[in-house]
């Protein structure tokens, strides 16, 4: 039924549960899963400031 899935996470317990569910669905359907990590960055972060948007995701299993 599904060949590809996309799940957005942002570090909350609710998004952790969504990721667990998406992993289970992807495994059951032999589908590919893409994870999008969403970061809320204030627009007024300054002209000369650097902002780290991505730290990395550790893949297990």
Give pLDDT, residue 6.
Answer: 94
Give pLDDT, residue 28.
Answer: 94
CA 22 to each of CA 2, 3, 14, 27, 34: distance values in angstroms, whole numbers, following the listed order: 11, 12, 12, 8, 9
Q: What is the pLDDT of residues 10-60, one digit of tens each?
A: 888 999 999 999 999 999 999 999 999 888 766 665 565 555 555 555 555
């Amino acid at each position: 039924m599904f060949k590809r899935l996309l799940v957005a996470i942002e570090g909350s317990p609710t998004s952790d549960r969504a990721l667990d569910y998406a992993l289970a669905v992807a495994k059951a359907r032999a589908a590919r899963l893409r994870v999008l990590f969403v970061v809320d960055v204030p627009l007024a972060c300054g002209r000369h400031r650097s902002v780290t948007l991505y730290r990395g995701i550790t893949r297990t299993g």
